[in-house]
Each structure stands twice: as structure tokens, then as C-alpha cells.
Amino acid sequence: MVVQADSFGFAIGSEPLFFSFKIDRSPDTAKSDSITPKETITTVPRSQRKIHTLDPSKLVKEDYVDFSRKSCGTVGIILQPSWLANSPIPPPPRNAQFRGNPWGSKRFPNGTHGFIYYHVPPYSSPLAGELRFRITSSCDPASFASGSDLLTERSMPWRYPLYKIVCRPYCSDFVALLLQDALISQRTLDLVTAAVKPLYSTSTSTHLALSENARHPGRLPSTPVLSAFGQEFDFRYGVGLNFCGIFASQDSIVSHHMRFISTFRVLTEGKYVRYCPFEGSLVCSFERSTLPEHVGKRVVVIRVKRFIDSDPVRLAPLPEQGDRRANLVEKLWPREGELLKTVGYHHRVQPWVGDVDKLWTGRTVGIAPWKALRVLFENEELYGSEESLREL
């Protein structure tokens, strides 16, 4: 039975990248892999080897794969016979296709060799787990610790979140492997299953739910799963979406998007239009605000972590006969290590802030625009934080 992966990692580029998994459900796997004196020994390419686990502590050299310069890599997944005999997970109804978009070369970069593993970020909900690819120097599992995660062209980890695996019924064998390795619990599986039917919205800022089709909740590219302060995400300048992400709490998953950050209105051809002075992308993270005016409140700010070489920040073209307002552009220009800026009332440049408990008034009375970000505060109380660890 061949199970091909669907959207395995970030969507970069325009052509689909197929990443296939061959799942062996046969209880006689061990027997079928044995070699008799009459059989011909054939070397199996590392791009087509079978893996036995997604747990870094249980890796063996046979779990090593090499996708260097490949547009399609095939990996076999072997489930234990004892698990198969009592597995609560039914076989998939059809072969799964994990599609993603490749790098600019339409191939994995040179040196893409190592181990596929399951990862839950520190101080995060179990619902925020994901698959990653650890690049190592050799097939020795001991090299895992000194390796590094494969990055996309946008400087973000190549990953595939748990909620996408669970919401695709034809990935059931992959779910079985996670349960078999005790990397997820049945309770976690039940919570994620309930959360993606459908992946729901929480406010006007989350109406762009990623679940119009429950099987494809992540249609937008590079949709991160965030569960704690300090976790990095891809921020894009423009008058459209600046950020779209998934927030995982202890028992739910919600989508949230933000737009019109760092934009202002300019007069062109007798009317005002919204204008963003920049193009390009940044790597950012959400932080708890420590600004004096936010003492005693639950307010989130955005920290600029670094620039993205493949999509550098640059000045955007002006609308015809538009006024760039150079004073605003200079103040809005992002700087590594500083807070991301936006334009407030009376064209005042200030840090972007989101008060998660604030309710809108007027026509949108009672709506909490940043409700989804409450997850970051709630998870900090449940799972701790790097800051609280330093205070011990």
C-alpha cells in the first residue's frame, strides 16, 4: 500500500512536490524482508528506505533518508506486527498524497539527508506537534543531536503539523505510527479530530478560516501553528494578509489572520487609497508586552527577529500621483530586535499591539478582535515559558 504525502512542509514555489510514504501493514513484514541464499541482494536507495519510528530516541541507521536534489522522495513506514493486531486505526480508504511546493529549483536542496521526526515545540500544547526533517552528517543516530532542521527558502523549518495529518482520513497509517511510538495520546488525537471538524473562527480577525474543506484546512502557504510566546512566524508586508496562523490551546485549534499592518492612506487621483510602503518578509514572534502603559493588561506585541534573504524588505511602488509621506516610511522601517510598527490615529507611528481582552464598540460592539491570541497567555500558565524557567 503506497501512501503519498499531502503538503509536506511549506509551500514555496509553484509546482507540486510529491513526498511518498510506503506503509507496510503486513504482520509478516519481518519474514518478507529476510533474504534467502537464492535471492538477489539489491541496494535500496536512501530516498526509498523504510522508517520504523518518528521518535528521535528510538532511531536506527535504517531510518536515515537522503532527498538531496530530488523532486520526489519515497519513505516506507513499518508498523509493528503487535500493533497491527490490535490497532484501533483503520487502514486508509485510499493512498494519501502529501503535496508541497518545492524550493526555487523544484528540488530538495543539496545535503538534505537525515531523519524525519516528530516534534512538539517547548512550552506548547500537545496539539501543536509537527513533523520535521533533521539534517545530519551521517546515518548514525548519534549525529541527530548535532544536526539541524531543514529550512525552507523563507528561513522557516520544513514541517507538517499534526492537525493536517489527523484531518486527512487517508493518513490514518501515519497517525497509527504516532500512537504506536506514544508520541501522541489517544486524548490528543480525539481533541485534534474534534478541533478540525471544522477548524473554526473566533472573531472578525479569524473569519478567513482554513477549513472550508475539512480535508484541506491549510490551503494558504506557510501557515504556522503557534502555541507559545517567542515562536517564530513569517510576516509579509502588503495591503493583503500580513499573517495567517493556527493557534493551538490545550483542547482546541483556531485560525487567525492579520492585515493592514504598517499601512496608511495616501491621496491619489482625488481619492484616498490604502498603501503599504514596503514589500518583502520578516521572521517575527509574538511577545507579552512590557510597555509601561500595558501593566496589568494582557497585551501582545510583535518582535522583529530577522530578515529573509530570499524576500528582502524593500520600498513598494507608489500609487500614481501618490504621496509616500517619507516621515512615516522612515519611522515604520523594520529593524531587527525591535518591535514591529504600525500607523495609529492621526498618523502616529507606534508599536503594533493587540489587547486580547479588549472589545470593539460601535457597529462591531462586543467583538474581541484579538481573542485568538489569548491562547498564548493561557498556555503560558499551563506549560510555562522560557522566562519563567529563568526566574527559578
Task: Give residue-wise pLDDT tens across range 19-70.
Answer: 343 444 544 443 433 333 333 333 445 545 678 999 999 999 999 988 887 7
214 and 169 in a common domain: no
Predicted pLDDT of residue 343: 93
Is position 36 within any domain?
no
Predicted pLDDT of residue 389: 61
240 and 154 in a common domain: no
Is position 35 within any domain?
no
387 and 343 in a common domain: yes
Among 7-16, 257-266, 310-319, the range scoring the smallest mean pLDDT is 7-16
For residue 216, pLDDT over 80 is answered with no
Predicted pLDDT of residue 44: 45
Domain ends where: 132, 167, 195? 195
Domain ends where: 195, 222, 253? 195
Is position 279 within any domain?
yes
**Greatest mean pLDDT among 122-131, 213-222, 351-360:** 122-131
Predicted pLDDT of residue 331: 94
Domain ends where: 195, 229, 259? 195
State the total domains in the chain: 2
372 and 259 in a common domain: yes
In angstroms, what is the C-alpha Rg of the chain?
Answer: 23
183 and 62 in a common domain: yes
Mean pLDDT in residue range 310-322: 85
Among 38-42, 130-134, 266-270, the range scoring the smallest mean pLDDT is 38-42
Predicted pLDDT of residue 86: 79
Predicted pLDDT of residue 155: 83
Domain range enclosing 72: 2-29+44-195
Q: Which three cell numbers stand for residue 78?
A: 513499518
CA distances (Å), origin 260, targets 38, 276, 311, 336, 351: 69, 8, 19, 21, 14
Predicted pLDDT of residue 183: 98
211 and 180 in a common domain: no
336 and 225 in a common domain: yes
Is position 39 within any domain?
no
For residue 299, pLDDT over 90 is answered with yes
Predicted pLDDT of residue 381: 96
Contact call for residues 155 and 283 (beta carbons, < 8 A): yes
Is position 305 within any domain?
yes
Residue type (1 letter), 116 = I
End-to-end CA distance of the chain: 51
177 and 212 in a common domain: no
Q: Which residues pair with 302 in a beta bridge?
A: 286
